[in-house]
Structure 1
Amino acid sequence: MSSQVLLIRPGATLYDEQNRVQGILDIPLSDQGRTEVLQLAERLAARNDQAPLSALYCGPGESVVRTAEVVGKALGLRPKRIEDLRNLDQGLWQGLQIEEIRRRNVRLFRQWIDDPRTIRPPQGETIEEAMERIQGAFRPLFRRHPDEAFGLVAGEPIGRLIAGYLKRVPRLQLDEFLPCCGYERIEVHADLLGGPSSP
């Protein structure tokens, strides 16, 4: 067995429902989000016997922490918070609807869609800066959980960056909005664990 990460997206917030950039703003779960999280926790508890998790981690932020608490209760795990897995800081774009950003910054928005690594939102952080945080946060987790599966609740788009890092996917797509409150089980790429790389 190799290390696995169960990457869990939190339930919806009002910003998700309004198609707004949330970034590091601390927005609570909406009514819909709370319902989604309860349903997700039931699904994960029903499958936990087949591939139990050894631990559960989460980034900061109301919707992420609350999702982790509900899921953790269902799985018998107490979530541990990791500050470096906070969401991507999107600066002055936070709180704006995607359509507003597109209208105000046509060229910049197009570049963000085509190659988000080349963009720093006004007063925000770059993808590379966020990736450094992610790598630093995961190193001790891999050492702590060799050949184990552990869970991680992370908001979007940091969740997408984490998935790309774990799978070693070079291209990032931030223009597709993933449904809230989903999860995926990711087999950690061998070279992240110090093993031989896959071809």
Structure 2
Amino acid sequence: MIRIILLRHGETTWNIEGRYQGQEDTPLSPRGIEQGKAAALALKDIHIDRAISSPLSRSHDTCRFAADYHHLPVAKDPRLTEISHGLWEGIHAEEIEARYPEEFHLWHTHPERVQMPEGENLEDVRKRAREAFDEYARSYDGETVLVCAHDAVNKAILCDLLGLPMSHFWQIKQDNACINVIECDHGIWRLVTLNTTTHLGYLVSGIEQKGL
């Protein structure tokens, strides 16, 4: 059996501003750094065999805070990179809604149908993330693996591992620096913990971010 501790990166300035980040390499905000350190402290006494992250700095830095406690290097896996929002990246949610009203509405009602302009769709993200997780399950049997990625990546892979279509994307919440735990035993995945934030001082954040 493999156990994966799946994190979302800490807060960034663009998260606060409601800008769509996608594959733009935005850094953690001061609060995001503290969130990452809090997640790391919560995992300090948990046995972890290896650490893997998206190559984007907001994810890699969040992962590194925890990996440092375990004296582990952080491997970068590009398959964990956030969804490419294409022409939406760097733009405030309100401006996207004004420029692309039909696509924006569809993104929040039927996300599985949206092809980001000059970017990806959720199926693109699902396929590459699932390839990564299936590889981890084959290669790291018997280990506990720390994985740090992004909002859309985490939602897509959690839906897929639970057998849910991407139409359920918005029914899974991923707060900044949240902790999820999933396990795979003989090819069967199960969800153990979802969107835990008690290490950040609250059970429910109440935060609804406008941009991913």
Same structural fold, with TM-score higher than 0.5 when normalized by the shorter chain: yes
Amino acid in structure 2 at the alignment position of 1:145: Y
User: Aligned with 2:36: secondary structure?
Assistant: helix
RMSD of the TM alignment (CA)?
Answer: 2.2
User: Aligned with 2:44: secondary structure?
Assistant: helix
The answer for the alignment partner of 2:57 in structure 1 is 62
Q: Any runs of at least 4 consecutive aligned residues in structure 1 with deviations exceeding 6 A, and if so which?
A: none
- 1:21 and 1:12 map into 2 onto residues whose CA distance is 13
Higher strand share: 2
Change (3 A) 1:63 1:168: same
TM-score, normalised with respect to structure 2? 0.81
- 1:176 and 1:196 map into 2 onto residues whose CA distance is 17
> 1:110 deviation in Å?
1.6
Alignment of 1:32-181 (within 5 A): 32-46=31-45, 48=46, 52-170=47-165, 171-174=167-170, 178-181=174-177
> 1:167 deviation in Å?
2.5
Q: Deviations over 1:142-177 (max 9, x none)?
A: 111224321100022112112222332223334886
User: Aligned with 1:122: secondary structure?
Assistant: coil
> 1:187 deviation in Å?
2.7
| Unaligned residue ranges in structure 1 (runs of 5+) | none
Amino acid in structure 1 at the alignment position of 2:36: V
Change (3 A) 1:101 1:62: same
Q: Deviations over 1:72-129 (max 9, x none)?
A: 0023322111112111001011111222222222221121112211111111111111
Preserved contact between residue 9 and residue 182 of structure 1 (Cα < 8 Å): yes
Greater displacement, 179-188 / 22-31 = 179-188
- 1:75 and 1:55 map into 2 onto residues whose CA distance is 9
Greater displacement, 29-38 / 157-166 = 157-166
Preserved contact between residue 44 and residue 75 of structure 1 (Cα < 8 Å): no
User: Aligned with 2:151: secondary structure?
Assistant: coil
- 2:6 corresponds to 1:11: no
- 2:122 and 2:53 map into 1 onto residues whose CA distance is 19
User: Aligned with 2:176: secondary structure?
Assistant: coil
Greater displacement, 173-182 / 71-80 = 173-182
- 1:35 and 1:110 map into 2 onto residues whose CA distance is 34
- 1:195 and 1:31 map into 2 onto residues whose CA distance is 39
The answer for the alignment partner of 1:26 in structure 2 is 25
- 1:140 and 1:175 map into 2 onto residues whose CA distance is 26
State the identity as a percent: 24
- 1:175 and 1:123 map into 2 onto residues whose CA distance is 26
TM-score, normalised with respect to structure 1? 0.85
